[in-house]
Structure 1
Amino acid sequence: MGSIITLDQPEPVGVVNIEELDALVIGSGFGGVYQLKKLRDEGYKVKLVESGTGYGGIWHWSRYPGARVDSHAPHYQFSDPELWKEWHWKQRFPDHNELRAYFEFVADKWDLGKDTYFETHVTSAKWDEEEHKWIITASNGKIFRATYFLPHCGIAASRTMPNWKGLGSFKGMLVHSSYWPHEQPVLKGKKIAVVGTGSTGVQLSHAVSKEAGELVVFQRTPAMPLQMRQVNYDDDEESKPKEELEQFFKDREDGYWGFDFGFLGKGTFEDDEATRKASYEALWKAGDFTFWLGTYTDMLFNDAANYEAYKFWREKTRARIQDPRLQELLAPEKQPYPFGCKRVPLEQGYFEMFNKPNVDLVDVNSTPIVEVTEKGIRTTEKELEFDIIILATGFDAVTGGLTSIDIRGIDGVSLKEKFQERGPTTYCGISAAGFPNMFFINGPQSPNAFCNGPTCAELQGNWIADVMNHNRDAGISAIVADDESEKQWGELTETIAYASLLPKAKSWYMGDNIPGKPRRSQMYLGGVPGYYEKLKSCAAEGYKGFHFQGPKGLKA
């Protein structure tokens, strides 16, 4: 039961029920769920709040046709034996239904429900310097006072909508892919537009094409998907034998990407042409991200090496497309950007879809969208009529979940304004200077998009619990990152990013999809082991790069 206080107003306006906590966690994805379990096991009074109605984070919202994870089983799960000894994956790449079922299984096993508030959207969090507490307010009227504020919002918590003329005038169904109705709408025989060809657009459009009477995909930049190579498992068949999983999860932490595979250990041109082609063929046959993240060490760092990979991808892809016009739009002869430097989707027949007579592609570079009308979409060429318009237009990735909350730290400084002025500056990708006792999993300048989600949720969640234990044992009431340490971490993140080819592509990896967003790497690209070593060394050196505050004031 929270304490009752009177609001500080000129005249009494009533009372507010404030819940006192050691920590408040936002988000019921892998990061938030794990953090709740970990902190509760450590003896903290902690609650988790979630704006949706169930567990799963992005998988609570992403229910569109074809939605499935592209981290293959058994990677995409927690390492707790209590869970994996009983859980059985039905597919190598589980779909959104199976993923929500997994989260419900986890919630039941870990008894998370007693400490979770659903339909609770946090709108503001303000640091009280005198009390060393966060005052956190939700839109449903709930108010929390917590020593630690842990906004584990994830990298895809803030949707982006196109700023098109007439967007609200469409008389049919218009929906963003991440707001897909829980009750599936009727698609069969409908005229459908899918706007966007990122990972969501690739999955969604292919699934929709099986039912649509007509489908038009609006493309700005061609995606470079890889074949998923899906596998269905029988009830008595596992993705990996149970007796191997304990060691598997230990090894997962040592993978560069948080997976059990990494680079080949040699450069592209260390192999002759025949050997190189054989290596590409083996990676291609394996499916998954291996052609992207399990390839030659220089593929993401050397233009010539990258072009070799693109040429192979282009040859394989064009062979699947019948129309020469679509071959050039979907797999251009001239490489449009470095391969693998925009998010690589996994697909199961995406390119063959365009061979169907009821599927077409509009290149919005040559035929821009002018406006949305009552009947559909008008381009510079003509008006296209639709029953359904689906916006697969992505997210304000990595930072959007944080900046959508009015977070104010020391002296009332706004996190949103800080990120807008400087870019996504953090220390170790897990905290921000000027914001004491605030930590985030998969935050800006952490491995986030280049780390298997559960892997980093556990690594970062454990580190956060450890620093809280350190402070509790030492009688420290506040910890905050140094400006200089944050600056150095940002410089390191940028140095690694610009040693790669990623900045040569315009993508959400660099914040390019949001007008006005500072162009900086949204993630640390030095690999999971290197990142974790940084966290461990920070802790081993007495949390170097942070300052502490206790009853007697500031400590070095």
Structure 2
Amino acid sequence: MTQKIDALIIGAGVAGLYQLYQLRQEGMSVHGVEAGTNVGGTWYWNRYPGAKFDSESYIYQYLFDEDLYKDWTWSERFPAQPEIERWMNYIADRLDLRKDYTFGARVTKAEFDAATGRWRVETDTGESWDTQFLIGCTGMLSAPLENRFPGQESFNGTILHTARYPKGGLDLAGKRVGVIGIGATGIQVIQTIANEVGDLKVFVRTPQYVLPMKNPKYGPDEEHWYKGRFGELKQNLPHSFTGFEYDFQHKWADLSPEERRAVLEEIHADGSLRLWLASFAEIFFDEAVSAEVSDFVREKMTARLKDPKLIDILVPKPGDYGFGTHRVPLEMNYLEVYLRDNVEAVSVRDNPIAEIVPEGVKLADGTVYPLDVIIMAVGFDAGSGALSRIDITGRDGMKLAEEWGREIRTTLGMQKHGFPNLFMTGAPLAPSAALCNMTTCLQQQTEWITDCIRSLRGSNKTVIEPTAEGEEAWVRHHDEVANATLIARTNSWYTGSNVPGKPRRVLSYTGGVGTYRQKCREAAEAGYQGFAMS
């Protein structure tokens, strides 16, 4: 039997929970569908060893309710996945959200009916909905690249993607373990399991700039400190460049070389993402500044590794790419792991992985590394991947996967021309696709969507869709801003280059969280300029 509702939400993560709550407060009939068996989104799926925040816990928060904020207490600056999952469950319980969710079901198909102006949505469990609004809160990093290498099915041991790590964990004690990939996720895994496994092979293709994490425990004094800042954080986070509490404070040209070095040393010692997000904005635009800051980070890494062979494999070289144009990982004694006798860094930059064979990993030159467990930290089809994996058909038979397969385009990162009444969060061409403290941006997007739906209903209209001209204007503005950065020239998941055949475009809006927020506000205040209501 098909259920008729006002809005269907896909996902029960940070965006989905808050979106459902807001629309329910509007008096709408709203339901959520979640593939997992519980709430949490990325913090439900990513339970690999070492998974934790690299946003400070007290800013990775909902800020619409002061009591909701203050009634939860964090144990440390950067908590681990189990604590974060408990927080997500606290939110769901406190706001009584579970009653409006179907868990353990995956949306497989959604089709827009132009005659009714509504969506027909189906799941893999046989349920179907007739809904006016379809809202994809599917996450920006939730479509794992699981089938990455030939022969994976032949492996005699255990092979898995980090985003599909089992709830009960794995017994790695004494095992021969291989980790493929050293992005933020791979680094967390490697530094966590090195002292547990018998032998660890780390397959390294692209060296990463890394920053040390300082993660102090929180007691009553720290709790009083950050909870007392609720008003300040609520006011400032949405208007900073990246949605964090810190922002760029220095201009490169204003400081002497000695002063610049002092700033870099001070911020590096903070043990957070400040060096990336609050040192010098010029690292994103000026090649000379990028090179100098990159040299600084290389120097810090080299001093810890010492071994020339390890330095060659693990430290980016001048000319590879600039610090900050990739996602910057935080780590805790990660580099020191490679100094252990049971750990080996295997470079696959010039000798790539050819296939997975029954006994382990085989490289192009024929070398085979025998393994019991292979952990693939090989990333995601970011931004567009989760929605592209659903069969979504818009107006006139348009397929979202086909449209994004030709060119990745959105309007404000929240709607797509040709797909009326389909809203999305964490999608391409908005800061939430990569360059934002997620809760800051996802709150802003869901609030904008709620306001938009309220305005539509208040105007006695039933359908909203971006115009072709409105979408073209946003894409043109997005590209103009993005192409002025060094990010656009770098191969990474930020540009979709980690997925073969994916159209290249900087996935995230790079003009800043505060600027994006203002652009969204301006569109709404101008009567949703760039959108057509009917």
Normalising by structure 2, what TM-score?
0.98
- Does structure 1 residue 377 correspond to structure 2 residue 352? no
Q: Partner letter of residue 425 of structure 1?
A: R
Preserved contact between residue 310 and residue 335 of structure 1 (Cα < 8 Å): no
Give the whole-Å Cα distance in 2 for the aligned partners of 1:503 and 1:237.
Answer: 39
Q: Deviations over 1:23-73 (max 9, x none)?
A: 000111111011011111111110111000111101101010000111112
Letter paired with 1:42: E
Residues in 2 aligned to 1:269 and 1:199: alpha-carbon distance in whole angstroms: 31
Q: Structure 1: where are the runs of 5+ without partners? A: 1-16, 550-556
State yes or no: 1:169 paired with 2:133: no
Write the letter of the residue equivalent to 1:255. S
Structure 2 counterpart SS, 1:221: coil
Greater Rg by CA:
1
Displacement of 1:234 in angstroms is 2.6
After superposition, residues 280-319 of structure 1 pair within 5 angstroms as 280-319=264-303
Q: After TM superposition, give the deviation of residue 235 of structure 1 in Å.
A: 5.5
Q: 2:101 aligned with 1:98, yes or no?
A: no
Structure 2 unmatched ranges of 5 or more = none
Asked whether 1:357 is paired with 2:338, we answer no
Residue 421 of structure 1 and its aligned partner are, at CA, apart by 1.2
Partners in 2 of 1:125 and 1:346 — Cα distance?
39
Three-state SS of the structure 1 residue aligned to 2:182 is coil
Letter matched to residue 41 of structure 2: G
Pair 1:72 & 2:53 matched: no
- Partner Cα distance (2:501, 2:243) in 1: 32
Is the partner of 1:372 in helix, strand or coil?
strand
Three-state SS of the structure 1 residue aligned to 2:328 is: coil
Cα displacement string for residues 78-111 of structure 1 (whole angstroms, at most 9, x for unaligned residues) = 1122311210001111111011000110011000
Report the counterpart of residue 487 of structure 1 in structure 2.
472
The answer as to whether partners of 1:233 and 1:239 remain within 8 angstroms in 2 is no
> Who is 2:70 aligned against?
85
Indicate if the aligned counterparts of 2:146 and 2:160 stay in contact, CA closer than 8 A: no
Instruction: State the Cα deviation string for residues 209-262 of structure 1 (Å, max 9, x = none).
Output: 121111111011001111111111136641734232123222111111111111
Matched-pair contact (CA < 8 Å) for 2:381–2:499? yes
Deviation at 1:162, TM superposition (A): 4.8
Deviation at 1:441, TM superposition (A): 1.3
Partners of 2:209 and 2:316 within 8 A in 1: no
Q: Tell me, in whole angstroms, the C-alpha distance in 1 between the residues paired with 2:316 and 2:284.
A: 19
Aligned counterpart in structure 2 of residue 115 of structure 1, from 83, 89, 100: 100
1:384 is aligned with what amino acid?
Answer: Y
Deviations 1:484-507 (A, max 9, x none): 111111111111111010022100
1:24 equivalenced with 2:12 (yes/no): no
1:62 aligns with 2:46: yes
Report the equivalent of 2:523.
538
* Inter-partner Cα distance in structure 1 for 2:266 and 2:353: 41
1:526-547 residue CA offsets vs partner (Å, 9 max, x unmatched): 1111101111111111111011
Check the 8 A contact 2:291/2:318 in 1, yes or no: no
- Equivalent residue for 1:417, pick from 361, 377, 402: 402
Q: Distance between the aligned counterparts of 2:412 and 2:316, measured in 1?
A: 38
AA partner of residue 409 (structure 1): G
Q: Give 2:175's aligned residue.
A: 190
Quick one: which amino acid aligns to residue 98 of structure 1? Answer: E
Contact 1:269 1:305 in 2 (8 A): no
Shift of 1:120: 1.3
Is the contact made by 1:159 and 1:394 (CA closer than 8 Å) also made in structure 2?
yes
Corresponding residue SS for 1:52: coil
CA displacement, residues 276-317 of structure 1 (integer Å, 9 cap, x when unaligned) = 110100110112111011011211110000011011001110
CA shift, 1:184, in A, is 1.2
Q: Which amino acid aligns with 2:352?
A: P
In structure 1, the partner of 2:30 is 46
One of 461, 465, 478 as aligned partner of 1:476: 461
Structure 2 counterpart of 1:71, one-letter code: S
Matched, 1:135 2:120: yes
SS of 1:443's partner is coil
Question: Equivalent of 2:218, from 233, 247, 253?
Answer: 233
The CA distance in 2 between the partners of 1:239 and 1:431, in whole Å, is 40
1:204 positional shift: 0.7
Which of 339, 343, 347 aligns to 2:323? It is: 339
* Correspondence 1:243 to 2:220: no
1:497 aligns with 2:464: no
Check whether the contact 1:432–1:480 (CA below 8 A) recurs between aligned residues. Answer: yes
Any idea what SS the aligned residue of 1:450 has? coil
Q: Distance in 1 between matches of 2:333 and 2:528?
A: 49
- SS, match of residue 223 in structure 2: coil
Of residues 337, 351, 355, the one that matches 1:367 is 351
Q: Distance in 1 between matches of 2:159 and 2:450?
A: 43
Matched, 1:431 2:410: no
Matching residue within 199, 202, 209 for 2:194: 209
Show the counterpart of 1:464. Answer: 449
In 2, Cα distance between the equivalents of 1:89 and 1:329?
Answer: 37
Partner of residue 321 from structure 1, selected from 305, 320, 329: 305
Aligned residues: 531
- Once superposed, which parts of structure 1, at least 4 consecutive aligned residues long, lie more than 4 Å away? none
Structure 1 residues 442-475: Cα deviation after superposition (integer angstroms, max 9, x where no partner): 2110101111111112111111111111111111
Q: For residues 172 and 531 of structure 2, what CA distance do their matches in structure 1 show?
A: 54
- Aligned-residue offset at 1:333: 4.4
AA partner of residue 409 (structure 2):
T
Q: How far 1:174 moved relative to its partner?
A: 0.5
Equivalent-residue separation in structure 2 for 1:32 and 1:473 (angstroms): 23
CA–CA distance in structure 2, aligned partners of residues 216 and 269 of structure 1: 44
Residues 360-403 of structure 1, C-alpha deviations (whole Å, 9 max, x = no match)? 11111232222211111122252111110000010000000110
Is the CA contact 1:90–1:235 (under 8 Å) kept in the aligned structure 2? Answer: no
Q: Is the 8 A contact 2:208 2:316 kept in 1?
A: no
2:511 corresponds, among 526, 536, 542, to 526
Equivalent of 1:219 in 193, 196, 204: 204
Match among 375, 380, 391 for residue 376 of structure 2: 391
Amino acid at match of 2:191: H
Q: Which amino acid aligns with 2:229?
A: E
